[in-house]
């Protein structure tokens, strides 16, 4: 699941970085690379979507469409065969990708 971005007019980069530095006691080098990883996008070879480097390994691509889950109490529930991730009928109808992928 990807977050919906909303502008926070009160957010301040300098305050945030200072807070992270003091709270987590991490080096300036680690802070730099963490911020860099969220600002730089790369393209997934499998799904062709762009994503931040920080989310590497979290591709939502599934090689096959979801299949209906069979069993008691599973009406309207689908799952991806590749990883067993469940998805409800509304997401299937809307063409929404899975939450995690393979």
pLDDT of residue 92: 63
Between the alpha carbon of residue 7 and those of residues 10, 13, 43, 52, 86, the distances in Å are 9, 13, 24, 18, 32
Whether pTM exceeds 0.85: no
Q: Would the pLDDT of 8 be above 70?
A: yes
Write out pLDDT tens, residues 19-46. Answer: 989 999 999 999 999 889 989 998 887 7
- Nearest 5°: phi and psi at 14? -60, -45
- The kind and range of the H/E element at 88 are strand 86-88
- C-alpha–C-alpha distance, residues 31 and 21, integer Å: 7
Instruction: Return the residue matching tokens 């600002």.
Output: 39
Write out pLDDT tens, residues 69-79. Answer: 776 666 668 88
For 59, which DSSP code? -
């Amino acid at each position: 699941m990807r977050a919906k971005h909303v502008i926070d007019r009160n957010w301040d980069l300098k305050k945030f970085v200072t807070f992270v530095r003091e709270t987590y006691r991490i080096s300036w080098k680690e802070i730099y690379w963490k911020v860099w990883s969220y600002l730089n996008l790369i393209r997934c070879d499998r799904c062709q979507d762009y994503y931040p480097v920080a989310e590497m390994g979290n591709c939502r691509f599934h090689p096959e469409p979801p299949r209906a889950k069979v069993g008691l109490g599973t009406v309207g529930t689908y799952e991806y065969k590749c990883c067993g991730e469940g998805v409800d009928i509304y997401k299937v109808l809307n063409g929404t990708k899975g939450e995690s992928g393979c």
